[in-house]
Structure 1
Amino acid sequence: MLVTNDFPPRQGGIQSFVHGMATRLPVEHLVVYCSTSPGAAAFDAEQPFPVVRARTSMLLPTPGAARAAARVAVEHDCDAVWFGAAAPLGLLAAGLKRRTAIRRAVALTHGHEVGWAKLPVARTALRRIARGCDVVTYLAEYSRARLAPAIDALTSLEQLTFGVDTGEFSPTVDRAAIRRRFGLGDRPVIGCVSRLVPRKGQDSLVEALPLVRERVPDAALLLVGGGPYEKALRRRIAAAGMGDHVVLTGPVPGSELPACYAAMDVFAMPCRTRRRGLDVEGLGVVYLEAAATGLPVIAGDSGGAPDTVRHGETGFVVDGRDIPALADRLSTVLGDRELAARMGAAGRDWMCRAWTWPTVAERLAKLLSP
């Protein structure tokens, strides 16, 4: 049984990770218990496994949720559970083991659990989660180093990274339709796919664009996604005089994401750690999708994001707050087609060898086995 708040049609990197993993496990033995979101009924009808939705947009580890999860586990004869995000729903693990035939619990961590490990009350809850789970996973060495002091003695810490569909995200995807839709023509395009939130660094891209355009005069910026930071970004764009050179698409369907990546010449998400380490990038599936598309990738130095780039080979890792350095890396890649092609090809090759879904799903299946 998969228990999660992070599940489509709600969009996001964790949602993509969890759903991608679910569809690559033996689906005849899987049931999903999750929160609801707009469009859920139509989405669920297309899945190869049953999806049971709680009548809430945020599933919390309450007694009611515990009883409901137990009913689903008993009805579907579940013997293992995995939590799409360890915090907070991993708190249900110990009760599920007491009430049902579940004997194995695995909880995935992303970025926010690293923040939990730093705060006294949240740290106590994270330790309860670890006691109830047989395995807690981490994305990158950055995460492991920060989780281990809190929970290493209480459970098994194992690495489990994102996977990427190298068939869906590919250099062969047509870029023309997206470029026509947003009036990009043949311009050199810097692109970012992400929720519009401060940590992701879209504002740094806006600030860097005038500097980039000094070296690459026709450069444009394509920001794919929606979020609470949109109004602030629009104000920054206007203040920088970049209104004719920045496109904000708003939310786009997941089916259009491969074409959005294909419309770019370089992918950049200069994420940065915020709130004294409480707001940190876990890994960043968008970097993997961009690399699989054959793009050079520029990543911020927050959390596990640097693990998605081979610096100088598949792209660059930058300080997301260093605007001149960011602009220099962007200009270098946009202005050197041979370098961009070489980095894109190296990234694509790396994704196909080390980051495919079958490799990742096999790892999770082993972790779930008694």
Structure 2
Amino acid sequence: MQESGLKAVSEDAHHDALRVAIVVNSYPPRLGGLESHVFQLASELVKAGAHVLVVCLSTSASDTVEQGVRVVRLRMHFPIESIISFPALGTTRRLSRLLTEERISVVSTHTRFFPMSWVGVDAAVRSRIPIIHTEHGAGFVRVRSASIQFFARLVDLTLGRRALRRADRVLAVSAQSAQFVTRLSGVDSTVFPNALQLEFWPPTQKTQPPNGIAFLGRLVGGKGWETVIDVAVELITKRGFDDLVVHVLGDGPESELLRLYVQASGIASSVQIHGHAHVATIRSALERSVLVNPSELAEGFQVTLLEAVASGAQVVSYPVPSIAPLLADGGPMRQVEVDSFDALVECVADALRNPLPPMPRGTLESRWSWRVRSHEYLDIAQSVIAARAARNGRGARSV
């Protein structure tokens, strides 16, 4: 990391606004649910009048303003299988100085597993700035590599636990994430679910039943993309769904494995591999599809399921934390209670033949929009700042 990558901007138009520093390992254009959460949170906080600084890691250093958000990218070091990377030595000290110079009101970190969360927490402690940590996982990291899994658990039990305990407030993206926070650190947390910028997800005009199935997510081990292809093979070759369209939306380190798997499946002509897709492509693919989610990872709250609901898709999933709250709000969800391939196929076939009603648009807007969620975050930030000021024996600064 070059020290010049952490320079303060002296004059700013938002002198009296809440000033939030989001310190994370990765940020768009890198893809993933956490990146989507942070990007949309940052964007909506700016729309609500806050000043937002994002500090993250990337392959090269830069300092830009993107949709009103100042994004400082520091050069990453020692990347491990596209899962984790590290900042340069001395980043905590330099970040602490930047937080002070930028008059940051509150520091926001995300997921106890990533090094920038530890750096962000330590820099905030040095600068005596309140910390809000959001936990996105619902369990210890699960990957194909046993050695990485062991290392990840060791990190969780040491540095991850320490970061959770040092935060002024911990948020969790689901009830299961909150339970994991308590098990790992003994800290109570507030459920703060994922959301969508609904202006990019207009009401669906769908009038016909689904004619396809879809996978949406990172192409990594445990997400279940192979299982979705296997389900498609079963439906097309044995269950009479001859005209089924299969959409694969997403990219990742196993993209070439996916292509080889599809070529060997015998149904390659039915499969559309979209790679990294824009929102319009995702909406179009999902609008008449059943999203199949056989993830076996320690998911916190998969925003992909919410995107499917907003698109008008049916959803069939193994048990994951995002199913229950979306189902409670009228989402067209089916949960496969038995972790078996046959049960999954039966459930997908039923969704194709007997689609459930979509979630009401009013519910999406009042419960699942970032416009609403960002104001909830601002309220939480104000309360954290006020509580810190009260502990320090002085009145809360007006922000």
Q: Which residue of 1 aligns with 2:31?
A: 11
Query: Cα offset for 1:256?
Result: 4.2
Residue of structure 2 in register with 1:276 after alignment: none
Q: Deviations over 1:139-194 (max 9, x none)?
A: 22222222212222xx44111110112231234479xxxxxxxxxxx992211221
* TM-score of the two chains, using structure 2 as the length reference: 0.76
Aligned residue number for residue 24 of structure 1:
44
Q: Which residue pairs with 2:86 in the alignment?
A: 60
Q: Are the counterparts in 2 of residues 294 and 347 from structure 1 also a CA contact under 8 Å? A: no
Please point out which of 192, 195, 198 is paired with 1:163: 195
Output the amino acid matched with 2:262. I
Aligned partner of 1:209 in structure 2 is: 232
1:111 to 137, 146, 167: 137
Q: Report which of the two has the higher share of strand.
A: 2
* Structure 2: unaligned runs, 5 residues or longer: 1-20, 80-84, 142-148, 386-399
User: Is 1:79–1:103's contact at 8 Å kept on the other side of the alignment?
Assistant: yes
Indicate the larger mover: 20-29 or 229-238.
229-238
* Segment drifting more, 191-200 vs 12-21: 191-200
What displacement does 1:215 show? Answer: 3.1
- Aligned with 1:74: secondary structure? helix
Q: Which residue of 2 is the match for residue 95 of structure 1?
A: 122
2:344 counterpart SS class: helix
State whether residues 217 and 249 of structure 2, in contact with CA within 8 Å, keep that contact through their aligned partners in structure 1.
yes
Q: Percent identity?
A: 22
Post-superposition offset of 1:21: 0.7
Aligned letter for 2:164? A
Segments of 5+ residues of structure 1 without an aligned counterpart are 175-185, 274-279
Structure 1 residues 200 and 104: alpha-carbon distance in aligned structure 2, compared to 1, 3 A threshold? same
Tell me the distance in 2 between the aligned counterparts of 1:266 and 1:40: 40
Question: Is the contact made by 1:135 and 1:157 (CA closer than 8 Å) also made in structure 2?
Answer: yes
Bigger relative CO (Cα 8 Å, ≥ 6 apart):
1
- CA distance in structure 2 between the partners assigned to 1:91 and 1:310 by the alignment: 35
SS in 2 for 1:198: coil
- Name the structure 2 match of 1:78: 104
Task: Give the TM-score, by structure 1 length.
Answer: 0.81
Measured after TM superposition, the shift of residue 354 of structure 1 is 1.7
- The match for 1:283 is 301
Show the 5 A alignment for 1:130-141. 130-141=164-175
Match of 1:199 in 2: 222
Deviation (angstroms), 1:83: 0.8
Displacement of 1:133 after TM fit? 0.7
Tell me the SS of whatever aligns to 1:316: strand
Deviation at 1:119, TM superposition (A): 3.3
CA drift of 1:330 comes to 1.6
Per the alignment, do residues 45 and 125 of structure 1 end up closer, same or farther by CA in structure 2, a change over 3 Å counting? closer
Question: Aligned in 2, Cα 1:237/1:94: closer, same or farther, shift over 3 Å?
Answer: closer
In 1, Cα distance between the equivalents of 2:120 and 2:274?
40
User: Structure 2 matches for 1:210-359, cutoff 5 A?
Assistant: 210-213=233-236, 214-253=239-278, 256-262=281-287, 264-273=288-297, 280-302=298-320, 304-307=321-324, 309-310=326-327, 314-318=332-336, 321-336=339-354, 339-340=355-356, 342=357, 345-346=358-359, 348=361, 350-359=363-372
- The alpha carbon displacement at 1:82 in A equals 0.4
Deviations 1:200-230 (A, max 9, x none): 2111111111322223221121001112222
Q: Is the 8 A contact 1:283 1:308 kept in 2?
A: no
Out of 361, 367, 370, which is 2:380 matched to?
Answer: 367
SS of 1:91 mapped into structure 2: helix
